[in-house]
Structure 1
């Protein structure tokens, strides 16, 4: 009888030996799942600043585009000293030329950053020291350009309204100034969103450049 029970005892021993192996496999799967979840969470946290920066730059680009369209198409009709009709465009006034230049340069820079950040987010690599430094220093320059452009346009409008003679000012000139003022106001909004982008890039520079 004892000899017949020996195989049964051996089978029981084998099942006991297999149990730790199954437990080990389950533990490894749980560790791998936890590691994958942690990596994904870290990646999403790392991408959040880039996504926020991308959104702000889209807003900036939209404001600059609207400002450029408004100021570039603005004009009025008047007469020269000989009584001949002439057409005055915004590009004939130096202040508005500066506004247009600020719009164009700001749009070019913002569009470049949008493309670079988009591919950075798409690749899933939130840290790039080269992009970090380019974004950091570029934001400061563009912010200065946009802010001074908006200030120049708004300042000219205020000064004109202060010294104008209502009896001699034509309605066409007044409409021209009002439209230019609207363009400068939109440019100011673009400079504000650019300032927010500049703050984001400043906060994220140490983290990105450390890699």
Structure 2
């Protein structure tokens, strides 16, 4: 019986997945940074932006780190496609492995923190304004 052969992911597939990851992170960045709401109470008007919620700032930081890492990995993949060689040889495999783990944990904590804050704040402001409801729904979508 022959041993099972290992499958190697094509650099083209890797590049397509990295581009897709970049697009999703960019969409999350746009949704999060353009998120605002206005609340009118008596004669006062309050405007809330994404940076007024500390957790959304943390989400922004994790998204930016994810974009930077994805762009770095995209450059490595394009180099591999154009030359046929991996930049850094075998030691880059270890970097890929550990960096992927770290970035995935960072992105997961950003998404979880944003979800938790959205659920908590949405219940506090429940019944105040439909624009606040939309604000927190967009905050949940940005994760």
**TM-score, structure 1 length as denominator?**
0.58
Q: CA deviation at 1:79?
A: 4.9
Cα distance in 1 for partners of 2:50, 2:76 equals 33
Structure 2: which 5+ residue stretches go unaligned? 1-5
Structure 1: which 5+ residue stretches go unaligned? 1-44, 185-211
Q: How many residues align?
A: 137
> Can you list the C-alpha shifts for 1:4-54, whole angstroms capped at 9, x where unaligned?
xxxxxxxxxxxxxxxxxxxxxxxxxxxxxxxxxxxxxxxxx9974433332
Q: Tell me how large the CA RMSD over aligned residues is.
A: 2.4
Q: Quick check: 1:181 aligned with 2:133?
A: no
> Between Structure 1 and Structure 2, whose CA radius of gyration is higher?
1
Structure 1 stretches of 4+ with a deviation exceeding 6 A read none
Cα distance in 2 for partners of 1:64, 1:132 equals 24
Q: Give the counterpart of 2:39 among 58, 78, 82.
A: 78
Cα contact 1:50–1:126 (8 A) shared by 2: no
Q: Quick check: 1:89 aligned with 2:49?
A: yes
Q: CA 1:92–1:165 in 2, change beyond 3 Å: closer, same or farther? A: closer
Q: Partner residue of 1:114?
A: 74
Cα contact 1:106–1:142 (8 A) shared by 2: yes
> Can you list the C-alpha shifts for 1:121-160, whole angstroms capped at 9, x where unaligned?
2111258223222211211111011111111112222233
More helix by proportion, 1 or 2? 1
